Amino acid sequence: MSDEIQSEASQRMGKAIEAMRVEFGKVRTGRANPAILSDLKIDYYGVPTPVTQLAGVKAADGHQLIIDPWDKKSLRAIEKAIMASDLGITPTNDGNIIRLPFPAPSEEGRKELVKQCREIAEQTRISIRNARRDANNRYERAEKDGDVAEDDVNRGKSAIQKLTDDHIAKVDALLKEKEAEVMEV
């Protein structure tokens, strides 16, 4: 039972970190990153379709994304969706591909992005702590039911705390790495 509780807590904490990585990928750093377009849906023949299913998206250089639609008729719809999105980028359509230039953010903009990254990291820490709380509650319930001895509960809680500390250290390391990337000029 103890292994099951720890395994479940570890999985939840790992998923929280993966979700944080995905969110960090969406933060605009001044570098072209195709992950920024992952939530962008295009109205393609009446069906909201992710842009990645309609076109090849690649970073031409550090500051520009190229969207090369497989169906050239969808160029206008892709451009319209980008303009309507909250990306804050003006696309350039040359009839074959769409270019998205990513200007480097100002100092104030970079500080705002760092603040956004810190909020994402704090939400991840909260998720990790919630997983710890739930695991500890399961240990306490098992002790009340007489399924687990008190010593086993204390060992289990200690293992969960170590797991929590390890995952929070990963969050802090990823945040530090992302902050350095964002503040890079």
pLDDT digits (tens, 9 = 90+) for 100-153: 887 777 888 888 889 999 999 999 999 999 999 999 999 999 888 888 888 888
DSSP state of 184: -
Q: pLDDT digits over 24-48, tens only?
A: 887 766 677 777 777 788 888 888 8
Q: How far is CA 160 from CA 12, 67, 169, in A?
A: 12, 45, 14
- What is the second-level CATH architecture of the domain 34-101? 2-Layer Sandwich (3.30)
Domain map (residue ranges) of the chain: 2-26+106-183, 34-101
At residue 32, the 3 state secondary structure works out as coil
- pLDDT(185) > 70: no
- pTM score of the predicted model: 0.72
Classify strands 41-44 and 64-69 as parallel, antiparallel or unpaired: unpaired
Residue 119 CB contacts under 8 Å (≥ 6 apart), including other chains = none
| Burial classification of residue 109, based on how many CB atoms lie within 10 Å of its CB (0-12 exposed, 13-18 middle, 19 or more buried) | middle
Q: Which fold has domain 2-26+106-183?
A: Topoisomerase I; Chain A, domain 4 (1.10.132)
pLDDT of residue 70: 87
